[in-house]
């Protein structure tokens, strides 16, 4: 079996049943058990994907055969799974999800109480898949149990940390994903009126792809305007991303939303640390420093941000794509918590979300334009670009993709860790410079793609 193609930078992901099957999940369960050691406690959850039941069966059987005791939560969000890993004092948590990928995809995200299991640890698990024998269980097989109190535990946690002070009207597009099970109850507990779009969990994702982006937010924007809501929020399939829409129906970019959260943090904790990734706006670092905070730049991806949040004991973190991380969530990204915190912020202010957004510094940008590139060619394309830029003595960083730096702007060329794509993001303090930087990167990337594909 080919496990090489499904192990990625920070999770395990593939197409069902071409790359992932119940049998492969069984072997993965055995490998994870071998990695953790016998008599470990593992909590398992899944999103609403159609292949989830089969993969859960295989995974749990492999874990139990390997000597792990498994607590099965059923359908939950990824952040609630991470919350449960801590609340129930588990050795590991495993979420069966492919996040925002199309319905035929699925996968596994691995956690311990301090964050993600990735990097060298993931490599060791991959190596164990070659040696584990699922037909020979350990002498002390584990056992399985359920736990139906986790949502109440999570709801209590939210109520302890968030207080919405006045009634708000909210529209939420849950994308037929897991948040449809939780968002309405959480907002109503806070006294909000909520209209939920595409609420029914459905692994076919009939309304649209389970990713909150411009092409999927149209219905949400229309309903926010039509119902005169205070704001809207779009969730992804497993509940770790939130994209906000203001009362005028305008999308609030992720890094701008991060500034709004940062403003709230600095009102409570002067000098707080804020973690952001390479594609976030120049305005984030400028704003944090202007408010006596500490700005920390990290690689794109929830594993890296979570890890840095914990190491730095940061108060807040964020990505332009809509991942938001909080010290209250132990450094984890949580879309439900983020949207309730946004409601709390608005409830304390006399200003609308659009007014708060417009008061924040903003520069022209182009975010995440996709260029198809097979996984096996990504490193070759990036090395070619790096070599050329180095020979031309261009100023760039190569810690996570290639970020070309200009005096008043930048452009980031970065391979996706989850899809066969290379993305280009650019920002500058003038529109002319933005177009210049983007056009240059696009031309160079297309040339490299053409050469490497032939």
* pLDDT tens-digit series, residues 160-218: 999 999 999 999 999 999 999 999 999 999 999 999 999 999 999 999 999 999 999 99
Q: What is the pLDDT of residue 309?
A: 97
**What's 12-148's CATH class?**
alpha beta
Residue 136: band (very low, low, confident or very high) from pLDDT cuts 50, 70, 90: confident
**What's 365-452's CATH class?**
alpha beta
Active-site residue, selected from the candidate residues 99, 175, 321, 347:
99
pLDDT > 70 fraction of the chain, expressed in percent and rounded:
100
Q: Whose CA is closest to 116, among 301, 313, 318?
A: 301
Q: What is the pLDDT of residue 183?
A: 98
Q: Whose CA is closest to 44, among 85, 86, 10, 105?
A: 85
Q: Whose CA is closest to 151, among 193, 123, 184?
A: 184
- Domains 168-358 and 365-452 alike in fold: no
- The answer for residues whose C-beta is within 8 angstroms of residue 440's C-beta and 6 or more apart is 404, 411
Q: What is the pLDDT of residue 419?
A: 83
Q: What is the mean pLDDT of the chain?
A: 95
Cis bond leading into 34, ω under 30°? no
Indicate whether 137 pLDDT > 80.
Answer: no
Q: What is the pLDDT of residue 133?
A: 85
| Alpha helices for 92-182 (secondary structure H) | 120-128, 150-161
Q: What is the pLDDT of residue 202?
A: 97
Cβ pair 233, 245 in contact under 8 A: yes
Q: Specify the CATH architecture of the domain 168-358.
A: 3-Layer(aba) Sandwich (3.40)
HSE-CB of 397 using CA atoms within 13 angstroms: 14
Indicate whether 139 pLDDT > 80.
Answer: no
Cβ pair 231, 246 in contact under 8 A: yes
- The answer for residues whose C-beta is within 8 angstroms of residue 424's C-beta and 6 or more apart is 366, 368, 369, 371, 411, 412, 413, 414, 438, 441, 442, 445
Residue 10: band (very low, low, confident or very high) from pLDDT cuts 50, 70, 90: confident
Cβ pair 211, 100 in contact under 8 A: yes
pLDDT > 90 fraction of the chain, expressed in percent and rounded:
91
Q: Is 281 a catalytic residue?
A: no
What's this model's pTM, rounded to 2 decimal places?
0.93
Q: What tens digit of pLDDT does each residue of 48-94 get? A: 999 999 999 999 999 999 999 999 999 999 999 999 999 999 999 99
**Terminal Cα-to-Cα distance of the chain (whole angstroms):** 29
């Amino acid at each position: 079996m080919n496990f090489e193609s499904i192990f990625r930078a920070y999770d395990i992901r593939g197409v069902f049943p071409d790359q992932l099957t119940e049998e492969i999940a069984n072997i993965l369960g055995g490998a994870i058990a071998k990695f953790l050691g016998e008599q470990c406690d593992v909590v398992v959850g899944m999103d609403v994907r159609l292949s989830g039941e089969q993969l859960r069966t295989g995974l749990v059987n492999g874990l139990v055969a390997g000597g792990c005791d498994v607590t099965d939560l059923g359908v939950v969000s990824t952040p609630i799974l991470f919350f449960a890993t801590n609340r129930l004092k588990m050795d590991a948590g495993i979420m069966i999800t492919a996040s925002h990928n199309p319905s035929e995809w699925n996968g596994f995200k691995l956690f311990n109480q301090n964050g993600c299991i990735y990097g060298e640890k993931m490599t060791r698990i991959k190596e164990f898949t070659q040696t584990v024998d699922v037909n020979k269980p350990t002498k002390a097989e584990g056992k399985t149990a359920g736990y139906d109190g986790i949502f109440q535990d999570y709801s209590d946690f939210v109520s302890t940390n968030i207080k919405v002070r006045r009634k708000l009207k909210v529209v939420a597009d849950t994308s037929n994903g897991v948040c449809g099970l939780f968002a309405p109850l959480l907002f109503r507990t806070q006294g909000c009126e909520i209209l939920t779009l595409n609420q029914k969990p459905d692994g076919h994702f009939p309304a649209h792809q389970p990713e909150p982006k411009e092409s999927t937010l149209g219905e949400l924007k229309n309903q926010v305007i039509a119902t005169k809501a205070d704001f809207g929020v779009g969730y992804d399939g497993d509940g770790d991303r939130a994209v906000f829409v203001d009362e005028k129906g305008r999308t609030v970019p992720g890094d701008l939303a991060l500034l709004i959260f940062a403003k709230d943090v600095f009102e409570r904790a002067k000098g707080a640390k804020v973690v952001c990734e390479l594609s976030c706006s120049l305005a984030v670092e400028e704003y944090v420093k202007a408010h006596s905070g500490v700005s920390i730049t990290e690689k794109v991806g929830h594993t890296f941000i979570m890890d840095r949040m914990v190491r730095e004991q940061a108060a807040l973190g964020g990505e332009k794509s809509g991942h938001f991380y909080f010290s209250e969530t132990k450094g984890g990204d949580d879309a439900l918590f983020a949207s309730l915190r946004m409601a709390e912020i608005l409830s304390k202010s006399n200003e609308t979300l659009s007014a708060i957004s417009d008061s924040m510094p903003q520069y022209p940008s182009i975010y995440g334009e996709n260029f198809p590139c097979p996984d096996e060619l990504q490193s070759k394309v990036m090395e070619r670009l790096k070599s050329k830029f180095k020979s031309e003595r261009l100023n760039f960083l190569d810690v996570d993709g290639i970020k070309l730096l200009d005096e008043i702007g930048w452009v980031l060329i970065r391979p996706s860790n989850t899809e066969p794509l290379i993305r280009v993001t650019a920002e500058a303090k003038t529109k002319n410079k933005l177009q210049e930087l983007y056009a240059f990167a696009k031309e160079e990337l297309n040339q490299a793609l053409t050469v490497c594909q032939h």
